[in-house]
């Protein structure tokens, strides 16, 4: 999730991306995303198991900002909100 193009970024894991993205978009979740206005779904990955998703989340969070921006830019160079594509 992002606040805007090149803005604040949030990385998380969920078993229901549509519901979780909607919660962030509507500021239903207290915490980081609400505080920093991260409402745009600009990138996501799907995994076959929660275990692999959590491992990948940790890998992404351990990376620097440049790597995170590169992941987004590779899939979504226009920083479009991808939410409508997943509903």
Name the pLDDT band for 21 (thresholds 50, 70, 90).
very high
Helix pair 50-62, 65-75: axis angle to 10 deg: 120
pLDDT on residue 44: 98
What pLDDT shows up at residue 83? 98
pTM of the predicted model as reported, rounded to 2 decimal places: 0.94
- As a whole number of angstroms, the distance between CA 18 and CA 16 comes to 6
CA distance 50 to 39: 23
Token output for 81? 């909100």
Res 29: pLDDT: 87
pLDDT tens digits for 22-79?
999 999 989 999 999 999 999 999 999 999 999 999 999 999 999 999 999 999 999 9
For 52, the token pair is 């692999």
């Amino acid at each position: 999730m992002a606040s805007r193009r090149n803005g604040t970024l949030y990385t998380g894991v969920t078993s229901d991306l549509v519901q979780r993205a909607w919660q962030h978009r509507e500021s239903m979740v207290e915490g980081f995303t609400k505080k920093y206005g991260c409402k745009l779904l600009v990138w996501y990955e799907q995994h076959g198991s929660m275990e692999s998703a959590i491992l990948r989340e940790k890998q992404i969070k351990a990376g620097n900002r440049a790597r995170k921006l590169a992941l987004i830019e590779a899939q979504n160079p226009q920083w479009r909100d991808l939410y409508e594509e997943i509903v």
